[in-house]
Structure 1
Amino acid sequence: MSAMKPVKRLQDLRASLGPGLLLAAAAIGVSHLIQATRAGADYGLGLLWAVLLVNLFKYPFLEYGPRYAAATGRSMLDGYWALSRYALGIYFVFTVGTMFAIQAALALVTANLAIAMTGLPGSPLVWAAGLLGLSAAILFRGRYDILDGAVKWIVAVLATCTLVAVVAAGVHGPAGDWSSAPATAWWSAGGIAFVIALMGWMPIPIDAAAWHSLWTLERARQTGHVPSLSHARLDFNIGYIGTCILAVGFLLLGALVMYATDTPFSDNGAAFAEQLIGLYTQTLGAWAWPVIAGCAFTAMFSTLLTVLDAHPRVMRHMIGQFAGRPTLQTHIGLYRGLLLVIPACSLLVLYGLGSRFTVMIDLATTLSFLTAPILAWLNYRLVTSAQVPANARPGPAMRWLSRAGLVFLSAFALIYAGWRLLG
């Protein structure tokens, strides 16, 4: 009997794993491939503190998603509704206000990587429309296991290639002369705007805590196993810590290969994608081009796919709550309808902004950062409320980290707002 217990615990752990890797797949996209690499290329190691601190201070608010789901058997959206109708209303407004820009930015980056990888003609808008259509077709059946089964290898391959490239670049030494490079002040007008954009999706928007809670419940429904709190948190930590390590890796890669070289990243999307892939080939060799191009595209496509699954899920759930019809929260027809509406509106946003690649990215990430303090506060209120059993609520260390995170996120949001008003 005792020999069976470790086996049973291992089986339960394996059944619980999955949502954390989905979170990692959603995270390792724009925030890592684009923003962290730009930070290293433009500022060297000058913004390493921002990457480390925002990963630290966002941690509790994102961890509260799987914590709440495992402790209560409900999603955070149900928790917001029980906490206050206004709480869910705030999340609804923020989701509608950001999801089209987010989806447009992801589609644009993925489209430009596809153009760079294949060398085929076509405008980024046309490629973005095709990729969004393909993603919607894959998800049309509402199958969680399509996501769960696909992301594991994608994340593992890109992570391995990135870490190898960073080590190779470190062995070769910086491409530029760091000692003679003038220090770039992040507290300038442009610097503050970029820091906010960098931290907006680093490692992922706080909205994703609610996505994670839905994925946790969907994984439990798929496997027939309800995860324990410890297993749900372990699954989250594996994905989250991995994304944090890779964020630092991308920043180091940009710094080692491009900082102080007088070769800034292009604002043109296709040219940017080629420069991004070139970071790897400069350190690993020309042979790596098809491998890295394929990995980068696949990573971005997995992010596009994962986020396109998340937005219809949360919107469907909230529509069901507001309408007083719980059956809508799992209605496949509503999910499919949203799979058509959200990409269509995102393409309109993309069409409106045209080919301004970095403008599109910075807009989406900045919107996410400015909503972060309020969503963080809602998550903290939720997991410290009576809805969560006392033994599942965060301990003193997590509470103090949450309060410090609220101060950090609010302070930078106010700095940015003040700069926009007074600048």
Structure 2
Amino acid sequence: MNERLSQFSKTAGPGILFACTAIGVSHLVQSTRAGADFGLLILGFVILVLLLKYPFFEYGSRYANSTQTSIIDGYKKLGKPALWLYFLLTISSMFFVTGAVGFVTAGFFENLFGIDFLGEWTVIILFAVCVGTLAIGKYNVLDSLIKIIAIVLLISTISAFLFALYNGPIDPVIGFEPKELWNITGIFFLLALMGWMPTAVDLSSWNSLWTLERIKQTSYKPKLKETLLEFRLAYIITSILAVMFVVLGSFIFYGSGEELPNNNSHFANKVVTLYTETIGDWSYIIIAASAFTVMFGTIIAVLDGYSRSLQRTVELIFTKKEDKIRTKFRTFYVIFLIVISTGALVVIFQFGSNLKELVDFATVLSFVIAPIIAIFNFRLVTGKYLEKEHQPSTLLKILSFSGIVFLSGFAIFFLFIKFLQ
């Protein structure tokens, strides 16, 4: 038993980083909005997309463990055009995704400390701290702190959820009319919700990079089933929390006639209120600090993930011999950190204080990209690139095929609607 726990502790890490990345905007913002605007009607779509997108995230971890290379290396095996397409898709989305996450994180920071006079400087300082932390390699210490605070948020969310179930949903105000889901606005939000539920599919490449980094860090190569167990536990927790946030948003806001704020700090205050209205006012500062720390973990993981994936992509595109890669491109990681944070700031300034528009744009963009990455990942783990014993089960292959059809169908449907507008 002790040996198993020791092995799991050496394997644990990539799944937790994935969970920290996912619990950010998709849960605290989008799931809460979904429940508040559409009630429990939206819950079925959340569960469905969590199920159908699961294989493509798992494949990142599966491929890394089986081949000891990242799934980005696998994209090169599919052909240079596939690698270039991944590179272009990453560049096209990274500023908007990072901007959305950074803007939300800044809102939780302002809410925690009661700051409303720094304005745009809040997010500038936030990005500077993140880039500095990652550049000097202190992420391991920060990661340990994030895990502790994330546990506090996990316990708090479960407590608030149970209290909300006990108290039941609020009584709708007189004259309350629910929002229509099956119109242009409703469908657009549905796509935005699914785009980052639990997170963007292209982030699956980060799982493979983090898996390899963890193996290097601990000098322990886990069996495939160990790597998959760690990821699956993280994914299950992430999925359960998504459902809880939808229920919290529905029980506390749906029918109140109250619109969730569009300002990032005001929205953060409303999210924290989800807890205090069920647990008690005494918990406000604990929840506010935990929520900010989890969001800070999200933004630092996003910056790290994009920079790592871009560095590896550039290495593979522009270097022919593996032994020349590390010396030639090792400084690119820091350069990409600066470029991504600067581009994200430009995006934030462009959208101003319009939180919902920025988040929806970034998440819908991720949803449109999703089918391409899903197909790439599926090909890599079901074809000649992976040994038979490491390939997914028939059930997982069927789920993957269903997911590709689902993601492609909705992406085409969205593009069709936008073309007609």
Task: Give the TM-score category using the shorter length.
Answer: over 0.9
Structure 1 counterpart of 2:402:
404
Residues 143 and 220 (structure 1), Cα distance of their counterparts in 2 relative to 1, 3 Å cut = farther
1:252 aligns with 2:250: no
After superposition, where does 1:10-409 map in structure 2 within 5 Å?
Answer: 10-142=5-137, 145-146=140-141, 148-177=143-172, 182-324=177-319, 326=322, 327-329=324-326, 331-409=329-407
% of aligned pairs identical? 39
CA-based RMSD of the aligned residues comes to: 1.7
Distance in structure 1 (CA, Å) of the matches to 2:63 and 2:87: 19
1:312-368 CA-partner distances (Å, limit 9, x unpaired): 100111111111164445854221121111101111111112111111111111110
Residues 283 and 8 (structure 1), Cα distance of their counterparts in 2 relative to 1, 3 Å cut = closer
Query: Residue type matched to 1:168 in 2?
Result: F
**CA displacement at 1:183 relative to structure 2:** 4.5
Contact 2:63 2:70 in 1 (8 A): yes
**CA displacement at 1:187 relative to structure 2:** 1.3
Residues 99 and 9 (structure 1), Cα distance of their counterparts in 2 relative to 1, 3 Å cut = same
Residues 179 and 356 (structure 1), Cα distance of their counterparts in 2 relative to 1, 3 Å cut = closer
Structure 2 counterpart of 1:419:
417
1:97-140 CA-partner distances (Å, limit 9, x unpaired): 01111111111001111111111233442111111110111111
Residues 382 and 232 (structure 1), Cα distance of their counterparts in 2 relative to 1, 3 Å cut = same
**CA displacement at 1:372 relative to structure 2:** 0.4
Query: Residue type matched to 1:382 in 2?
Result: L
Distance in structure 2 (CA, Å) of the matches to 1:66 and 1:405: 18
1:171-202 CA-partner distances (Å, limit 9, x unpaired): 11212339985443311110000000001111
1:3-59 CA-partner distances (Å, limit 9, x unpaired): xxx654443222111100000000000000000000000001010011101100000
Which sits farther off after the overlay, 143-152 or 83-92?
Answer: 143-152
1:238-259 CA-partner distances (Å, limit 9, x unpaired): 1101000000010000001000
Contact 1:257 1:279 in 2 (8 A): yes
Contact 1:111 1:124 in 2 (8 A): no
Distance in structure 1 (CA, Å) of the matches to 2:346 and 2:86: 23
Distance in structure 1 (CA, Å) of the matches to 2:202 and 2:139: 19
- Give structure 1 stretches of 5+ with no counterpart: 1-5
- Give structure 2 stretches of 5+ with no counterpart: none
Query: Residue type matched to 1:87 in 2?
Result: A
**CA displacement at 1:384 relative to structure 2:** 1.0
Query: Residue type matched to 2:132 in 1?
Result: A
Task: Give the secondary structure class of the aligned counterpart of 1:299.
Answer: helix
Contact 1:316 1:328 in 2 (8 A): no
Distance in structure 2 (CA, Å) of the matches to 1:28 and 1:258: 20
Length-normalised TM-score, structure 1 = 0.95
Counting matched residue pairs gives 418
Distance in structure 1 (CA, Å) of the matches to 2:227 and 2:174: 46
Distance in structure 1 (CA, Å) of the matches to 2:33 and 2:95: 23
